[in-house]
Structure 1
Amino acid sequence: MDDVGVTLRRISRLAEQTPPSRERFIDLLRALSIVAVVLGHWLATVVGYDRRGDLTGRSALPELPWAHPLTWVVQVMPVFFLVGGYANAVSLAAERRRGGGAAEWVLNRTGRLVPPTNALVLVMAGGALVARVFGADPSRVRLVVWFASIPLWFLVAYFMVVVLTPPMYALHRRFGLAVPLALTGLVALGDLARLFGQAVWGQGSFLFGWLAIHQMGFAWRDGRLPARPGVALPLLAGGIVMLVVLTVAGPYPISMINIPGERLHNMSPPSLALLSVAATQLGMALLLRDRAERWLRHTGPWTAVVAVNAVILTIFLWHMAAMILVTGLLHLAGVLPVAVPGSAGWLAWRIPWLAMCALVLAFLVAVFGPIEINGARRRTTRQASAVPGGPALTRVRPVLRLTLTLAGCAGIAFALLANSLTPATSPAAWGIPAVPLIVYLVSASVLRCLRASPRQRDAPRQRR
């Protein structure tokens, strides 16, 4: 309890010390987008039993066609990438003012993403090993780990977007809005290939689509997309019109969340329809920006936003694990209800279901959230103590440092992607395939060593 009290006091101080120049609306959008994703996963998941009596889980959307248009509102991943672009542009500019380069920025920025992910990976691997020792079926263990690691597929996309921020921001500064337009054209070509049965040529949209949205965050930050009705309304109206044309009249599915059996998916990879949703959400955000900024000047709302953002990655990474724990506890107690998706009983069950998942997630955040909070504090301390040109760097060291940084980031992206692509019932001793697990641990260790390199440790001594 003392640790919780210390954390709350720290969050309160952070809220009070917020500089007037900070764009608070960006933090609000980030918090709302992740909370919406968590609630959406919990609400749309069906848990029950198969014919053999084994626990199963699936999406309710294939059985709820009336809910497909609602995904136009609840699919908020574009918002997260949009505000990520804004925040990354701010952070990169600050790093350059301190005299840092691309490698240092990537190391510092991934320093918040990797440690909380380490906790999830290690707990899943350790839990899987314990389950195997007690004789659990390897396929069932893998299935549980696969469900718990569902958030990691998204992290791959965002991780790569972060790593590519320095060169993409350079392109933005030179070519402006032409960059997201070109990326949108690549997404359109990928969609065309998928419609003609050449799905492999559309896989690039996993990167092109999210990068296009991320670039719009750059444009917002640089004032190319000011919060004025003359900009916001065309984006909002144009996005809605394109969305209706593409889905109602065109070949794209209405749902912005993947539905098994659909000819074309909008989410994985991002499609033109999803980019239309992004444009709509951006237009709405620009319309609401000024009013929201005034509201966030009040202590209560802003402190709540700061609290969520302090553990936002922890919330996202552990929300599926929380749902799995709730399901397991109800199953062991023999009280797990089974109802037809969309029925009155199933809808009524959503309320206590959400409450229990939220309670378990709150416990997990209390346990693992300090990893994210303390990591952010250490990163801020290192940045504040760094001195431009402080370390005695040779001509080789910066190149080697950048190479190791990119190699470590590539290794983490490969490992997380390989885990997501490995079949959910493919037996794995650690719940995660051995090669991706080893690559992940080695890559995370390399990045950790680079962040703790003499460049940061020596800086305070040189300042004296």
Structure 2
Amino acid sequence: MGSSVRELAAATPGTRDRYIDLLRVASLGTVVFGHWLMAAVTGDGIGNLLAVVPELQVVTWALQIMPVFFFVGGFSHALSYRSLRRKQAGGSVYAAFLRARLQRLLRPTMVFILVWGAAALVVQLLGGDGGLTGVALRLVAQPLWFIGIYLAMVAFTPPLLALHERYGWGAFGALVAAAALVDTLRFALGVPFVEFLNFAFVWLAVHQLGFLRADGRIRVPAALAAVGLAGAAALVALGPYPLSMVGMPGEKVSNMAPPTLALLCHGLWLVGAVELLKGPGTRFVGRARVWRTVVAANGMAMTAFLWHLTAMLGVYGAMLALGVTLPEPATGAWWAQVPPRIVAAVAVTALLVAVFRTFERPAPTAPGSGSGGPVAALGITLCLLGVLGLSMVGFGGMLEGRSAVLVAVRVTAPAAVAMALGGWLLVERAGRAARA
């Protein structure tokens, strides 16, 4: 494996923006570290360190870095779609684009769903899905929300890229205005269910910033960072928005679910900040050893993200099985356990990556023939709904019909699994037909 990474790193063209690859790895790594750090597990259940020590919620303004990943996605999707469009002038490339962009995302995700779905069935049949095990079966599915949002971004890339190419910053501004209108209707007028629209408007606005970066239109990143930081601070200080940029248990208003205008402003300041660091970041990743590390990490980043909570819960489960005392969160003894717990979680994640990373390696792709677009659109819609539904209901209660509300529709775990797998197969079929 080391030789292949070395060869890939050596074959990297000089025109590649390596800083974008560094941002992708760093953003996912920060999210993983944040989850490991914030989990507060005791013999009675699983809590959140930020709820135990509310003063620490300010750190989410640095650790909630998922907007950077979506920004990077916008940049990469713009380049990928334009490349396919150039290779096949005059025809639709939608199905081939979806398959090319989603292989390394959906293949490891479907394996994760199948493995955990089967494990959940076995656990329930054996009657062991209560207590901490039941909580774990729900918790391991939560990162799938990110996969669902990313699927929507890929699905909407062609029309939103067309709007960007016509209106530039105007297309981004329209999404920001739509997000602000949704929050106004939600908080000022009390319109029900309207807040769910911001799952699209907020995250697609951040994604749109990636298009702008691809065209070199983010010329004053300091201004973007300043406006975003000032806007987020003002909204939190004066409005109904909480301090935390991640979801908190029991809170009436969350900046994350659904996303708010405050989270969008947070995304603006993060994008501006990473763009300000582009110079030194590019020089850093230009070092041969650093670049090889980034190449290796990018080849397994999604697998590690999918399984990192499984690793963390495995570590806690082993501690409980061995009779290791789990101190009260935020105490001195708890903080003393943090470094060895994280080291152990890294080790278990590495083992899981070694087992499952092969599914993250994509098959070769080629320009499409212009067919398969409607099938691909149906497939990605089903996959998106299934993955988002599973992130909400979890793997627990597979045989009991336990459900969760996805926007206004109740979804059970078996139905979510079926939609996710069926949608993935449709995307694969349409993509292959487009290449034939």
TM-score between the two structures when normalised by the length of structure 1: 0.86
Unaligned runs of 5+ in 2: 403-411
Change (3 A) 1:140 1:291: closer
Matches of 1:301 and 1:370 in 2, distance apart?
23
For 2:10 and 2:191, locate their aligned partners in 1 and report how far apart those are by CA, in whole Å. Answer: 54
The CA RMSD measured in Å over matched residues stands at 2.1
Paired with 1:139 and 1:409, the residues of 2 have a C-alpha distance of 35
Partner of 1:35: 29
Aligned pair partner of 2:292 in 303, 314, 327? 303
Moved more, 419-428 or 182-191: 419-428
In structure 2, how many angstroms separate the alpha carbons of the residues matched to 1:66 and 1:150? 24
**Local SS of the residue matching 1:153:** helix
Contact 1:183 1:208 in 2 (8 A): yes
Which residue matches 1:21?
A: 15
Aligned match of 1:290: 279
Q: What is the percent sequence identity of the aligned residues?
A: 33
Change (3 A) 1:247 1:301: same
Corresponding residue for 2:263? 274
Q: Does residue 442 of structure 1 match 2:399? A: no
Q: Aligned partner of 1:259: which letter?
A: M
Q: Tell me the SS of whatever aligns to 2:244.
A: coil
Match among 41, 53, 70 for residue 47 of structure 1? 41
One-letter amino acid of the structure 2 residue matched with residue 338 of structure 1: L
Kept in 2: contact 1:129–1:430 (CA 8 A): no
Question: What displacement does 1:452 show?
Answer: 3.4
1:132 shift after superposition: 3.2
Using a 3 Å threshold, how does the CA distance of structure 1 residues 272 and 348 change in structure 2: closer, same or farther? same
Residues 250-290 of structure 1, C-alpha deviations (whole Å, 9 max, x = no match): 33211111223434211122212111211111221221112
Distance 1:67 1:405 in 2: 43
CA distance in 2, matches of 1:331, 1:167: 51
SS in 2 for 1:20: coil
Residues 322 and 169 (structure 1), Cα distance of their counterparts in 2 relative to 1, 3 Å cut: same
Whole-angstrom distance in 1 between the partners of 2:155 and 2:331: 45
How much does 1:329 deviate? 1.6
Contact 1:138 1:427 in 2 (8 A): no
Aligned length: 423
1:405 corresponds to which letter in structure 2?
A: A
Q: CA deviation at 1:445?
A: 2.1
Using the TM superposition, name which of 435-444 and 293-302 deviates more.
435-444
Residue 187 of structure 1 aligns with which residue?
A: 179
Question: Which of 70, 83, 106 is 1:94 aligned to?
Answer: 83
TM-score w.r.t. the length of structure 2 is 0.91
Question: Which one is further off, 36-45 or 198-207?
Answer: 198-207
Secondary structure of the structure 2 residue equivalent to 1:83 = helix
Q: Is 1:413 aligned with 2:405?
A: no
Higher alpha-carbon deviation: 26-35 or 92-101? 92-101
Deviation digits for residues 377-415 of structure 1 (CA, Å, limit 9, x no counterpart):
x1xx322xx4x75xxx8xxxx2xx111111111111111
User: How many angstroms apart in 1 are the aligned matches of 2:375 and 2:6?
Assistant: 37
- Partners of 1:412 and 1:443 within 8 A in 2: yes
Contact 1:132–1:429 (CA<8 Å) still a contact in 2?
no
Instruction: Choose which of 207, 212, 217 in structure 1 pairs with 2:205.
Output: 212
Secondary structure at the residue paired with 2:95? helix
> How far apart in 1 are the matches of 2:309 and 2:375?
32
Unaligned regions of 5+ residues in structure 1, if any? 1-6, 51-55, 459-464
Distance 1:144 1:38, change over 3 A: same
2:355 pairs with one of 367, 371, 386: 367
TM-superposed deviation, 1:338: 2.3
- Structure 2: distance between partners of 1:13 and 1:295: 20
Offset at residue 147 of structure 1 (A)? 1.2
Q: Report if aligned partners of 1:189, 1:202 keep a CA contact under 8 Å in 2.
A: no
Distance 1:117 1:153 in 2: 12
Letter aligned with residue 158 of structure 1: Y
Match of 2:140 in 1: 148
**CA–CA separation in structure 2 for the residues paired with 1:361 and 1:234:** 39
- State the Cα deviation string for residues 186-245 of structure 1 (Å, max 9, x = none): 21122223324445111100111000000011001111113xxxx022112222222221
* 1:382 aligned partner: 365
The one of 66, 72, 88 equivalent to 1:77 is: 66
1:18 Cα deviation (Å)?
0.6
- Match status 1:341 vs 2:335: no
Cα contact 2:284–2:290 (8 A) shared by 1: yes
Q: Is the CA contact (8 Å cut-off) linking 2:108 and 2:356 kept in structure 1?
A: yes
Q: Distance in 1 between matches of 2:242 and 2:148?
A: 25
C-alpha separation in 1, matches of 2:140 and 2:109:
12
1:222 equivalent among 215, 223, 228:
215
Paired position in structure 2 for 1:53: none
CA drift at 1:129: 2.5
Corresponding residue SS for 2:304? helix
4+ residue stretches of structure 1 with deviation over 6 A? 429-432
